[in-house]
Amino acid sequence: MIFRSKRAIGKLSRSRSSSRLRRSRSDYGILKRLGMIGLKLGLFGGALGIVIAFAVIAFYSRQLPDIDTISTYIPAETTKIYSVDGIILAELHQEENRIRIPIDTISPILQKSVIAMEDTDFWDHKGINIRGIFRALYRDIMAMAFVEGGSTLTQQLARNLFLEKQKKIERKIKEILMAVDIERKYTKTEILELYLNQVYWGHNAYGIESASQMYFGKKSKDLTLAESAGLVGMLNGPELFSPFRHFDRFKSRQRVVLGRLTELGIIDASQAEDAFNAQLLLAKRKKHRYKAGYFSSYVVDQLIEMYGEEAVYTSGMKVYTTLNYALQQHAEAVVSEYYAYGQKAFALKDGRVPSLNYNEAALLAVDPRNGYIVAMQGGVDFNESQFNRTVQANRQPGSAFKPFVYLAAFDKGFSPGTIVSDAPVTFNTTEGPYSPQNYTLTFSGNLPLRRALENSINVIAVKLNDLVGPKTVVSYAHKAGIQSPLTPVLSLPLGANEVTMLELTQSYMVFANYGKKVEPVSILRVDDRNGVPLYTHRFKESQVLDENLVATLVDTMRGIVDYGTGRGAKLPRPIAGKTGTTSDYKDAWFFGFVPQLVCATWVGNDDNDPMNGVTGGWVPAQMWKDFMKEALVGVPAQDFKAPKHMVKRRVNWETGLLASNATPEDAPVTIEKYWAGSEPTEFDTPEAIEKITIKANTSEKKERMVSDFFTM
């Protein structure tokens, strides 16, 4: 047995404690030395960082412009847009629409709104907002891209006046240095005044006074809360949120600003709601400086999308377009003439009317071989309405959509000479019975497809659509250039879906170009102020439809102008085209073409108010003819390609058989075209004629089944 005294135990315990103490002191010493090393490295790194920072500041400071010129700086670079025949269509520059005013003549609520939205800490910082910078840096890192700038009003002022717009670290450094320098040399009130006099507000308006007068026809000191909130809401996208172009977007941004003012306690919720509901009286647009306003505005929108607003209005670009200004002037005159034509009283079959009741018209002409837009008149008067009905209006095309149905039918084996019955029919659909009606509310009996298209027979077009399948028709329309969504319904051939004039014109360009598709183009080249090319259009085409199939369709469409609903557009040269009239006369169209030019015309009302009996074969066809007579001067007449693999046969419409000695003299007999191998081979016989006669005399039904579509 082993006995240990308490003392022995005590000695043992102290021995172990001493050992641990020695190790602790040793560890502490190591940590202390490491801490000192870390401290020295930190101090060295900090000092190095300071040195680098001062070096960067010194480096970029030498590159900064003179801040003292800030109050007198005026941009002087003008962007010019040219027509193909050398006419300057537009000159875009800032300084012609800037009115400088002192800050005490600017609405106080507008000043507060700008600060609330753009720089809440404006009165407290010294040019930069550290929290804002770190917040923006964090979001940039998370997005792995420059998504937020974190700029103060002072930084924005520096950037707008002296720096490029692209988000770069170098630009941000310069922006910060200039902002700090500006804050040293100018008071906060002076900076705010400079900002409000320089900032861009859309439509070539620079500064709050220009914007106030342009949008509301008043001085900026008289702006209301509702008007101020709307204007401030536009700042991060003046063209996108313009009340002239996108009033709904303008109102959306106005609500955002009012919400921010409420959040900061500048106004209360009741004031915000009253301001949002207040009626805004927009000023009447002054006469625009643009020539060919609709086309020039269309080009400007594209340039802004390509380069941004600031570059478009300040960089001095030279923009060369496809527009033929001589033809454009003629297009404007034709549209104006037929607008006046529609205001006169007319004696129609239903009685005398005081006018044709349409207030708008549009015309678009494009070269199908290269896609060049040579004339674009998007309305009666650009100064009255900048809404471009050639590219912005979604309208029902009416029967102008029918060629896609016939194209699909020809591809499925039907021929222009195939005989179809124009008789009453009812379809059972998920939405109930559907009985298509013809424009004349009458039925023509048996017709060749060629004749049905010439007279724009609705019933036959719907029957064809049902037989080939609406989805098939939609696929052909999309191939040809229709981009709008199309619902595959039975009424598709009657123009049930809405499209723009430009996209439907593009599809007719494919017809005129025998199945080759080219995109409509308005800008050929963009040079910078030194003549260095920034953009050059590259021609590109693709064969999207079978050439012979399209040639067959075009050959059939020629009859529309020669003998059918488009006779009002007839000229002494080969022409193909199609009329379009929607239900209740809300839209009237004519799309016509020669191999060198496609032209579309339209009349109607923006509010869809019905016209008084206006059809596509009347006013739009005459507009088309008057424009094309001038447009085709000096352009040689050129025939369309004849379709291949077709044979001609003399047929009796009533029987669908070859005419013979037995065919009655008063029978409808014509020479029709068929795909080789599908032509009729049997001749009229007394038995066949008798059978058709008995059927016609005994049939009293107003509706027939699909099995009766085609004659025996």
Neighbouring residues of 556: CB distance < 8 A, sequence distance ≥ 6: 406, 416, 449, 450, 453
pTM (2 decimals)?
Answer: 0.66
**Is the domain of 368 the same as that of 517?**
yes
3-state DSSP assignment of residue 58: helix
Q: Are 522 and 657 members of one domain?
A: no
DSSP 366: E
Helix (H) or strand (E) holding 448: strand 445-448
Helix (H) or strand (E) holding 697: helix 686-698
pLDDT band for position 72 (cuts 50, 70, 90): low
Is 174:127 a contact under the CB 8 Å cutoff?
Answer: no
> Who wins on pLDDT, 560 or 351?
560
Q: Which of 116-130, 489-503, 694-708 has the highest mean pLDDT?
A: 489-503
Residue 170: per-residue pLDDT: 59
Mean pLDDT across 683-693? 75
Are 600 and 624 found together in one domain?
A: yes
Are 593 and 652 found together in one domain? no
Strand partners, 346: 353
Statement to judge: residues 246 and 100 lie in one domain: yes
Q: What integer pLDDT is reported at residue 427 of this predicted model?
A: 94
What average pLDDT does the structure give for the chain? Answer: 85
Question: For 193-205, what is the mean pLDDT?
Answer: 86
Q: Is residue 440 part of a domain?
A: no
Q: Which three-class secondary structure string do you get for 237-297?
A: CCCCCCCCCCHHHHHHHHHHHHHHHHHCCCCCHHHHHHHHHCCCCCCCCCCCCCCCHHHHH
Q: Which of 674, 670, 451 is nearest to 563 (CA)?
A: 451
Half-sphere exposure of 35 (CA within 13 A, CB side): 6
Residue 412 falls within a domain, yes or no? no
Beta bridge partners of 200: 206
| 441 in a structural domain | no
Residue given tokens 């000092």 in the structure block: 47
| Residue 248 falls inside a structural domain | yes
Domain boundary at 613, 640, 667, which? 640
DSSP symbol at 121 = T
Q: What does the pLDDT average to over 82-99?
A: 80
Which of the 8 DSSP states describes residue 603?
E
Q: What is the mean pLDDT of residues 621-641?
A: 97
Structure tokens given for 706: 């699909």
**Distance between the two ends of the chain, CA-based, in angstroms?**
128
184, part of any domain: yes
Q: How many domains does the chain have?
A: 3
**pLDDT over 70 at 97, yes or no:** no
Q: Are residues 671 and 582 in the same domain?
A: no
In the chain, count H helices and then E strands. 21, 21
In a domain? residue 151: yes
Alpha-helix residue ranges (DSSP H) falling in 163-246: 169-185, 188-198, 208-216, 225-233
- Read off the DSSP letter of residue 679: S
Q: Which of 640, 664, 680 is the last residue of a domain?
A: 640
388 in a domain, yes or no? yes
Residue 69 confidence (pLDDT): 54
237 and 218 within one domain? yes
**Domain match, 223 and 356 both:** no
CATH of the domain at 385: 3.40.710.10
What number is the average pLDDT over the span 672-687?
Answer: 92
The confidence band for 124, taking pLDDT boundaries of 50, 70 and 90, is confident
Greater pLDDT, 543 or 143:
543
Between 347 and 61, the more confident residue is 347
Is the residue at 679 inside a domain?
Answer: yes
Q: 225-233 and 269-277 are packed helices; what angle lies between their axes, rounded to 10 degrees?
A: 80
Domain boundary among 622, 640, 658: 640
Judged against a pLDDT cut of 50, whether residue 2 lies above it is answered with no
Distance CA 379, CA 374 (A): 16
Structure-token pair, residue 49? 């960082």
pLDDT-based confidence at 70, cuts 50/70/90? low
Amino acid present at 412: K
| Same domain flag for 602 and 650 | no
Same domain for 603 and 700, yes or no, is no
The predicted pLDDT at position 275 comes to: 95
What is the model's pLDDT at position 699?
43
- The domain of 691 spans 646-708
Q: Give the domain CATH number at 125.
A: 1.10.3810.10
- Supply the residues annotated as catalytic: 118, 399
Q: Residue 684 above 60 pLDDT?
A: yes
Residues 631 and 519 in one domain: yes
Shared domain check, 678 and 636: no
- Please report the DSSP string for 549-598 in residue order: HHHHHHHHHHHHHHTSTTGGG--SS--EEEEEE-GGG-EEEEEEEETTEE
**What three-state secondary structure class fits 369?**
coil
